[in-house]
Amino acid sequence: QREQQQREQQLREQQERRQKEQQHLLQNQQRKQEQQQERQQQPPPREQQREQDQLQGQRRHSDQQQSSTTSSREALPNVVLPSLLENPMVSSVASYYEGRKAVCSGIPNDDIEGTLSDYADAVLQASHTQSQRVLPPAHSVAMCMEQADRDSILNWLILTCEIMRFHESVLFSSVLTLDRYSARIGSPLPMESIQRVLMAVMCTVLKTCAVQDQVCGSMPLRELLAHLFRQQARVKEIFVTERK
């Protein structure tokens, strides 16, 4: 009996100790929570207050700038701003005209080209938007030529533009013009006719390319066409096909 009583007392003492430890832990947690709440309610230190004041000042300044820019835009008339002012990336046409602006030759027709640098990219962007609206559908292009013929033509164009160091616009414009012609015809063409059409397309692109001076250089257009097509057709025949 005495041993049982001693064991019961030991168990009671252990339970009391556990209860005291749990109460102590709960009290510590409550104290930590109260301290955190007090810290949150306390005003921030001086350095944090300065940083907050600086951020608020910057926000106010940016808001004032935005309001001033919006008011100035509303006061201006509705005009299309040139892309040179909006986008630092300019085209080769705009850079060419910008270089012409720096050189004054005294010839009016040459000097007037310098004023076109501010409007070249805006015109090109509008032309590109209009061109995207009337892109030829793929099924119309596929009706005019076989896939193998088209692949060989594209490979020839890529190699030619790479060897001749043509501007990339020559390649893209040639492919797009050929696709437009194919979609317009709407009927299969033999390979001989496709070659003649390709010559006419290259002729048109080289004459109307935005970087014609960089493409042709000192070589006249007739000699360049004869060199490209290796005397496969006369230049006059190419011009006739181009007109068609």
Q: How far apart are CA 84 and CA 115, in angstroms?
A: 12
Q: Do 193 and 211 belong to one domain?
A: yes
Under 8 Å CB-to-CB from 92, ≥6 apart: which residues? 167, 169, 210, 211, 214
Last residue of some domain: 131, 158, 182? 131
Q: How many CB atoms lie within 10 A of CB 194?
A: 21
Percent of the chain with pLDDT over 90: 0
For residue 77, the model assigns a pLDDT of 39
Structure tokens given for 143 = 């009706």
Q: Do 211 and 186 belong to one domain?
A: yes
Instruction: Check pLDDT > 80 for residue 46.
Output: no
Residue 153, in any domain of the structure: yes
Q: Do 157 and 212 belong to one domain?
A: yes
pLDDT average, residue stretch 68-88: 43
Residue 22, in any domain of the structure: no
Last residue of some domain: 101, 131, 161? 131
For residue 237, the model assigns a pLDDT of 79
Residue 181, in any domain of the structure: yes
Mean pLDDT score of the chain: 74
Instruction: Select from 206, 228, 202 the least CA-distant residue to 217.
Output: 206
* Confidence grade of residue 162 (pLDDT, cut at 50, 70, 90): confident
Q: Between these two residues, 221 and 136, which has the higher pLDDT value?
A: 136
Q: Do 144 and 198 belong to one domain?
A: yes
pLDDT average, residue stretch 127-155: 84
Q: Between these two residues, 229 and 121, which has the higher pLDDT value?
A: 121
- pLDDT tens-digit series, residues 165-198: 888 888 888 998 888 888 888 778 777 788 888 8
For residue 121, the model assigns a pLDDT of 84
Q: Do 154 and 222 belong to one domain?
A: yes
Q: Do 106 and 187 belong to one domain?
A: no
For residue 41, the model assigns a pLDDT of 62
Q: Do 203 and 156 belong to one domain?
A: yes
Last residue of some domain: 131, 152, 187? 131
Q: Do 151 and 173 belong to one domain?
A: yes
124: enclosing H helix or E strand = helix 120-133
Instruction: Check pLDDT > 70 for residue 145.
Output: yes
For residue 31, the model assigns a pLDDT of 81
Q: Which domain holds residue 103?
A: 92-131
